[in-house]
Structure 1
Amino acid sequence: MINLDDMGLIKRLDPSDMLGLVENLPQQCEEAVEIAGKFNLNRKYLDGFIPANIIITGLGGSAIGGDFLRTYLVNESKVPILINRYYHLPEFVNKNTFVIAVSYSGNTEETLSAYQEAKKKGAKIVCLTSGGKLAGYCKSDGIPFVLIPGGLPPRASFGYQQIGLTGILEKAGIIKNKKTEIKEMISVLKSISAEMRRDVPLEKNPAKKMAVQLYGKIPVIYGSQDLTDAVALRWKCQFNENSKSFAFNNVFPELNHNEIVGWEMPKELLKNFVVILLRDKGEHPQVKKRFEITRELLGGIACATEEVWTRGNSLFARIFSSIHTGDFVSVYLAFLNEQNPTPVKRIEELKKRLAM
């Protein structure tokens, strides 16, 4: 097994420094606050616009920020928020819909298609991108957009995207100012990064320890609806893209109505699964019991069952904290798998073939 404390080996396995991008998420968030603060959403563009619904359209690393926002605002927003991951928009989209198109590269074909459809439907549109065709469309169509720094893997721009989306909704008057929550979140991220960065040895580094436990196993990540559901998806996707590992995710209480029965067969394969329970202090009392009972039921079936608790006071900070932890674990697991965490060769191959 790879020695995760060997800095020279990590440098060779990580030539694009994905680990450095993870370690610097707090600083990225600080920069994102400045970018969002400078974004000018012309009041004339909104002209008294009150949305009946909000659509955040994007794919992959450009969609997870929407998932975060939907979860975070589910008990605050009076307006329903839907995440769209497709070429087309729902039929109900019209002039009363607020569409936020997100494409980090600016060239995601599904998002570009959805943008054009939003225009045809007369929806109010704002975009978030680092450039590409989407930025070009916005300039020619007079659509406001948040321009974030480019050159990163989309999944590594989470801070820019999440705070950018939050800033758009603030400037649109849809949500209240989140300055206090974001300040706390950045403080929490700095604490986590200090604990999990590369120079913290294995015996004191919880992210490295979890990566070792997951080595050669299949992660199954369970979150809680409207608390850590988006986090569970993020962990799953980071294991896929960074670690080059298969992974599964689901949420309580839904999984107790179906998936829990699947922990029967094939028995030998199930011994290779490690269950990660993403816990939060805001869990419904019955969901808390479901976590505890499910952990007991899976004892002796899965290889192991581990809990990861969110940190912080505000839900904004708590969600971000678990995402940051998962990002660290996924990169350390990539090193154990002797993989460069940055390339996503199959995705690039798919794009090439689709363009033929």
Structure 2
Amino acid sequence: MLIKSLVEKFDPENQFDVLVNSFEQVKVAWETNVDISKIKLEKISNIVVSGLGGSAIAGDLLRNFLRSELKLPYQVNRNYNLPSFVNENTLVIISSYSGNTEETIAAMNDALKMKAQIICLTTGGKISELAEENNLTVVNLKKGFQPRYALYSSFFALLKVMQELKLISDQSEIVKEIIELLKGKGIEFSSENNRAFQLVEELIGITPIIYGVSDFTDALAARFKGQLNENSKVHAFFNVLPEMNHNEIVGWETFNEMNNKYKVIQLNEIDYHPQVVKRISVLSELIKKVGGTIINLQSDLSNHKSRLFDLVYLTDWITYYLAVQREKDPSEIDNIHYLKKVLTD
């Protein structure tokens, strides 16, 4: 039982079970009561989701998930300050799982000064205190996870907010589908010699370069990269097509497989524009021509929303297994804790 042995040795906080039970996060988040009575729906003309790390990536993934469904201007903010256009017609969603993210607290104070309409997604902390002081709407997330492992809580709570505000159609059926998907995949990916565990063999000792496509898989690429950094403790980089075809593609001219320990992970999706498919084909040809290696990841499910979370979940497991195979704790983030300590001293 190789997987069981690795989990016992290198996963003291048991993130293995957290991943297996991700479907339960979705259920709890989707069943959470969202009170929108304080929000003036008719005034909302644009939306800003403000957060960092795992709390922000939910906002990015929502953009890929909804694609053309969301009709209002929508932006994810990762900063101490909000964009200057924010006003009383802006819905600002403050997303901080811990409730104590320094930058997000500052952005929340900005939102209050700019008289924006505010909804908070959090488990408590300073965000909850500020919300209570200012009589703001709070969606309480389930406690007990590290923020990046709580993505499924953060994302589906955010999706529920959008539905309750009637900014999108009813998502209940697709959410049920995703719950069953994650439940089944959790059993699959926790078994010996599963696909995620096998894929890790191709990533040992190399630096992954992840390519997604704007508006389809760019948020997935960013999530995968971040999980490789935090869970696996490796450098990883990502870029998106078609933009990288106008710059980064040239860098492959000088690639030398003897001196460069890189592998490309191409995120594929059946709904890509035909010209993007051609671009990926040419890019792959050029990379292989100089000795580069490409790992293609694609879901074959029928719905693009399920396909997105099929790959989010697969890549989460890949980063977990890469951590324990490298004898690293998939929970530990010492450098982040050190940085926060220095900033508050």
Give TM-score scaled by structure 2 length: 0.96
Amino acid at match of 1:73: L
**Deviation at 1:110?**
0.5
CA distance in 2, matches of 1:177, 1:311: 24
Point out where structure 1 has 5 or more consecutive residues left out of the alignment: none
1:128-167 aligned at under 5 Å gives the runs 128-167=121-160
Unaligned runs of 5+ in 2: none
Please tell me whether residue 182 in structure 1 is matched to residue 175 in structure 2. yes
Distance (Å, rounded) in 1 between the aligned partners of 2:214 and 2:255:
28
Letter aligned with residue 273 of structure 1 = Y
- Whether 2:8 is the aligned partner of 1:11: answer yes
* 1:33 matched to 2:24: no
Equivalent in the alignment of 2:101: 108
Aligned residue for 1:277, secondary structure, equals strand
Task: Identify if the C-alpha distance between structure 1 residues 52 and 201 changes in structure 2 by more than 3 Å, giving closer, same or farther.
Answer: same
Match of 1:118 in 2: 111
Structure 1 range deviating more: 165-174 or 239-248: 165-174
State the 1:315 CA deviation.
Answer: 2.5
Whole-angstrom CA distance in 2 between matches of 1:147 and 1:114? 19
Q: Which residue of 2 aligns with 1:209?
A: 198
SS of 2:201's equivalent in the other structure is helix
Cα drift, residue 73 of structure 1? 2.6
SS in structure 1 at match of 2:216: coil
What's the C-alpha RMSD, in Å, of the aligned pairs?
1.6
**1:273–1:302: 8 Å Cα contact kept in structure 2?**
no
Q: TM-score, normalised by structure 1?
A: 0.93
Residue 79 to residue 308, structure 1, CA distance change in 2 (3 Å) = same
1:10-67 deviations in whole A, cap 9, x for unaligned? 21100111122112111221222112xx22221xx22343321100000001100000
Partner residue in 1 for 2:49: 56
- Helix, strand or coil at the partner of 2:266: strand
Q: Tell me how far 1:302 sits from its aligned partner.
A: 5.3
Structure 1 pair 97–6 and aligned structure 2 pair: CA distance change class (3 A): closer
| Structure 1, 13-22 or 323-332: larger mean CA deviation | 13-22
Say if 1:129 and 1:147, in contact at 8 Å, map to a contact too. Answer: yes
Question: How much has 1:301 moved relative to structure 2?
Answer: 3.5
1:336 to 302, 325, 332: 325
- Indicate how the Cα distance of structure 1 residues 262 and 142 shifts in structure 2: closer, same or farther if over 3 A, else same: same
Q: 1:80 Cα shift?
A: 0.9
- Aligned residue identity for 1:155: R
Residue 288 of structure 1 is matched in structure 2 by 277
* CA spacing shift, 1:269–1:118, aligned 2, 3 Å: farther
Name the aligned partner's letter for residue 150 of structure 1: K
Residues 8 and 310 of structure 1: is their aligned pair in 2 closer, same or farther, counting only changes over 3 Å? same
**Structure 1 residues 47 and 17 mapped into 2: Cα distance closer, same or farther (>3 Å)?**
same
The match for 2:18 is 21
CA contact (8 A) 1:54 1:81 kept: yes
The answer to whether the Cα contact below 8 Å between 1:185 and 1:318 also exists between their aligned partners in 2 is no
- Alignment: residue pair count: 345
Output the amino acid matched with 1:201.
Answer: E
Tell me the equivalent position of 1:345.
334
Return the alpha-carbon distance in structure 2 between the equivalents of residues 290 and 239 of structure 1: 26
Q: Note the 1:41-52 alignment, pairs <5 A.
A: 41-42=36-37, 45-52=38-45
The separation in 2 between residues aligned to 1:82 and 1:312, in whole angstroms, is 28
The structure 2 residue matched to 1:244, chosen from 230, 233, 256, is 233
Partner of residue 318, structure 1: 307
